[in-house]
Amino acid sequence: MESAGAPTDQRSVRIEKMNTLRDAGILPYAERFEKTHMLAEAKVLADGTKPVRAAGRVIAVRGFGKLTFCHLLDFSGTMQFALQKNKLSGQFELFMKTVDMGDFVGIEGEIITTRTGEKTIDVSSWTFLAKSLRPLPEKFHGLTDQELVYRRRYLDLITSPEHMDRFKKRTQIIRTIRQFLDKNDFMEIDTPVLANKACGALAKPFITHHNALDIDVFLRIAPETYLKRAIAGGFERVYEFARCFRNEGLDASHLPDFTLLEYYCAYWNYEDNMNFTEQLIKHLLATVSGGLTLTYGGTQVSFDGAWPRISFRDLILKDCGIDINTCATKEDLLAQIKAKGIAFEGDVDIAHAGRGNLVDLLYKKVSRPALINPVFVIHHPLDLSPLARKNDANPQVVDRFQLVVNGWEIVNAYSELVDPLDQAQRFEEQARARAHGDLEAMEVDNDFLLCMEYGMPPISGWGMGIDRVVALLTNAPNLRDVVLFPLMRPE
C-alpha cells in the first residue's frame, strides 16, 4: 500500500487536472448534487428505468477505446456505470482526461444489464463533484499496516467493505439496545462529562483544569452517581450511552476512552436485573446476528439456554483452591497467593492494591479467562464493591453480578446501595485505601451522600461496555477495530 503521503509527481498531476477542470469552466469542488437513488437501490431497478441520478467516489476505471466502464462507491455499496463516447462526445474525453480513482462524480443515466449480467448505469451526463489529490491504496490489498488502519480510518472504510459493515453493525447494535430499553419504559438522559469527583467506579481518572471556575475537574469514569441522582429526583428507569474516560492501560480489551451504557431501575434488585439482562442480550443476538450462537476468534460461543450463576468465592475456590472468605486481610490473601505459586504480570502493582482490588486481580488471573459461554458471576466481596448493597444473608458480600462472555466482562450490575450511612462508611474505607497508595480507590463524594440522605428507593443498576459487545458480535480482535477513530500517539 501507499504510505502516508502520495508521491509528489502524482499529486502534481492531479492538481494539473484540477486546473484543466477550472479552465473548462467546471468547479473542481461542487456545491451540491441531487440524487434519486443510492447505488444499492439502483442495482435492483428494472432495465430501462430512467433517469437515475447517483453520486459517489470512483474506485475503478477500465477503458476500451470509445467505451469506459467504472465503478462508483457510496454508503450503500458499489455499482458499475458505463460511458460511451458516441453519447457523451466531448464530455467523454473530459472525463478520461480529468477524472482519477478517488474523485467524486455525479452521474445520470438509464439502467441496463451488460452482456456479462452486471447491472449498470448507462450514463447520459455526468457532473464533477470533488477532486482527490492523493491516490487511494491499491484496491485489492487496502491498508495492510494495522497502525495506518487506525490512523487513516477513512481509507480503511473505502477499501475494506467488511470494516464498513462492522461500523454499520455497531450502529444497529446500539439502536437495537436503545429500542429495547425504550420499549421497557426506560428514559434516556444526559449526565455531566466533567465532574468534581472521580466517582462511579474503581478507576484512575483523567484530570483537567476548568479555566472559568479555576478548579481541577475529572473526566467521568462512569455516569453512575448522576443517574442515581435522577432516580432520587423521581425518574424510575433511566439510561445513558456515556463516553467515559479511565487513565489506565491500553490493550486489545481495554481503551482509556470508551462507550459505556448504564441504566438504573427503581424497585428492582440484582436478580430482577439478571433476568432482564438475559432477555435483552438474547433479543440483541437474535435481532443483529439472527441466532443465539456466534463465533469469536475461532471459538464458538452459545447464548442459548439459562445462563449459569456462580458466586465469586466459589469460582476462585474451584479454579485455584483459595477460599477468599478465609482471607480477612490483604496480607492473608497475599500469603495464600504466594503459597499457590500464582504470579501476576509485571505491570500489576499488588504492593499498593487494597484487599478488594487484590481479590479482583486474582479472579482476573485464574478464573475469568476460562469463562467462554455467558456466565453470571455473583456475590462479590464487600470491599470490591463500594457502591453495591450488602447481601442480607451474608453482609461480607454484595448483591452484584458480572456477565462474563469469552473472558470479557460485558456487564457489571448491582442491587444499589441506597443507605447513606453505609455509603459514607464505605467512602471512608476507600479514602483510607487511596491514602495508602491505591490510586483506583474512590474519593469521598459528599454531594452524592447529601443526595442519598434525601432518600432513594430500592434500585438495581447496570453498566455495559458497548465496544466489547460490538467486538464480540463482529468478531473483532481488538477494541480499536470497533472504534472509528481511536486515539493514537502523534506521528
Each residue of 106-132: pLDDT tens digit? 999 999 999 999 999 999 999 999 999
Output the pLDDT for position 2. Answer: 38
Distance in angstroms between the alpha carbons of the first and the last residue of the chain: 18
The pairing of beta strand 257-266 with beta strand 293-296 = unpaired
DSSP symbols for 430-474: HHHHHHTT-TTSPPP-HHHHHHHHT----EEEEEEEHHHHHHHHH
For the chain, give every residue range classified as CATH 2.40.50.140: 8-136
Residue 443 has pLDDT above 80, yes or no: no
SS3 337: helix
Cβ-based burial of 2 (10 A; exposed 0-12, middle 13-18, buried ≥19): middle
Place of cell 439456554: 305
Cβ-based burial of 89 (10 A; exposed 0-12, middle 13-18, buried ≥19): exposed
Write the CB contacts of 160 (distance below 8 Å, at least 6 apart in sequence).
142, 143
Q: Which CATH architecture has domain 8-136?
A: Beta Barrel (2.40)
Phi, psi of 158, rounded to the nearest 5 degrees: -70, -40
Output the pLDDT for position 415. Answer: 95
Each residue of 456-488: pLDDT tens digit? 999 999 999 999 999 999 999 999 999 999 999
Strands, E, within 47-135: which ranges? 52-64, 67-74, 77-84, 104-113, 119-130
Amino acid symbol at 322: I
Cell output for 290? 439472527
Task: In whole angstroms, give the CA distance from residue 279 to residue 181.
Answer: 11
CB 414 within 8 A of CB 389: yes
- Where are the alpha helices (H) located in 290-396, listed in sequence order? 312-320, 330-339, 355-366
Residue closest to 400 by CA, chosen among 410, 409, 387:
387
Percent of the chain whose pLDDT exceeds 70: 96
CB 267 within 8 A of CB 458: yes
For the chain, give every residue range classified as CATH 3.30.930.10: 159-307+373-482
Q: Grade residue 398 by pLDDT with cuts at 50, 70 and 90.
A: very high
pTM of the model: 0.89
For residue 402, count other CB atoms closer than 10 A to its CB. 19
Output the pLDDT for position 440. Answer: 66
Phi, psi of 232, rounded to the nearest 5 degrees: -60, -30
Residue 5 has pLDDT above 80, yes or no: no
Each residue of 130-171: pLDDT tens digit? 999 999 987 545 567 888 899 999 999 999 999 999 999 999
Cell output for 170? 455497531
Cell output for 388? 453495591
Output the pLDDT for position 135. Answer: 92
Residue 7 has pLDDT above 70, yes or no: no
Q: Grade residue 447 by pLDDT with cuts at 50, 70 and 90.
A: very high
Angle between helices 420-435 and 446-453 (to 10 degrees): 170
Render the burial of 358-392: b for 16+ CB within 10 Å, e for the rest: bbbbbbebbbbeebebbbbbbbbbbbbbbbbbbbe
Summary mean pLDDT of the chain: 92
442 vs 252 pLDDT, higher one: 252
Place of cell 475529572: 218
Each residue of 377-396: pLDDT tens digit? 999 988 888 778 999 999 98
Each residue of 305-356: pLDDT tens digit? 999 999 999 999 999 999 998 998 889 999 999 999 998 887 677 777 888 8
Output the pLDDT for position 4. Answer: 44
Residue closest to 472 by CA, chosen among 424, 403, 390, 400:
403
Each residue of 281-304: pLDDT tens digit? 999 999 999 999 999 999 999 999
Of the CA atoms within 13 Å of residue 79, those in its CB half-sphere come to: 29
Output the pLDDT for position 139. Answer: 57
CB 121 within 8 A of CB 81: yes
Place of cell 429500542: 179
Q: Can you say how many angstroms the Cα of residue 323 is from the centroid of all Cα atoms in its chain?
A: 36
CATH superfamily assigned to domain 159-307+373-482: Bira Bifunctional Protein; Domain 2 (3.30.930.10)
83 vs 3 pLDDT, higher one: 83
Phi, psi of 333, rounded to the nearest 5 degrees: -65, -40
- Where are the alpha helices (H) located in 24-152, listed in sequence order? 39-42, 85-88, 90-98, 146-151
Q: Grade residue 3 by pLDDT with cuts at 50, 70 and 90.
A: very low
Helix or strand holding residue 284 (H, E): helix 270-289
Output the pLDDT for position 1. Answer: 28
Residue 402 has pLDDT above 90, yes or no: yes
Each residue of 221-277: pLDDT tens digit? 999 999 999 999 999 999 999 999 999 888 888 899 999 999 999 999 999 999 999
Output the pLDDT for position 8. Answer: 60
